[in-house]
Amino acid sequence: MLTSASTGTPRTAPRLRIPPDQTAPPVPCEQCGYTALHVGRVVDANDRVLATVLVCTRCNARTPF
């Protein structure tokens, strides 16, 4: 668990979510070549989107979007 440097209170770490998207065509990963590239969102404890990244679910390569 992370703590705030100024107050010492616990806080949760951002999480990576990959929502299912049936409309997007499969995209090959530049690193491994498999069609396992998905749009992922880094969200905080309140499910507020902090960043969007491309994530390969096979080789775990991540690219800022």
Q: Please report whether residue 6 resides in a domain.
A: no
**What is the count of structural domains for the chain?**
1
What are the C-alpha distances in Å from 38 to residues 33, 51, 63?
A: 13, 14, 10
CB 39 within 8 A of CB 54: yes
Q: Please report whether residue 41 resides in a domain.
A: yes
Q: Please report whether residue 2 resides in a domain.
A: no
Express the helix, strand and coil content of the chain in percent, nearest 5 each.
0, 40, 60
Structural domain that includes position 25: 14-64
pLDDT in tens, 21-48: 667 777 898 888 888 888 888 888 888 8
Q: Please report whether residue 57 resides in a domain.
A: yes
pLDDT of residue 6: 64
Indicate the pTM of the whole model: 0.58
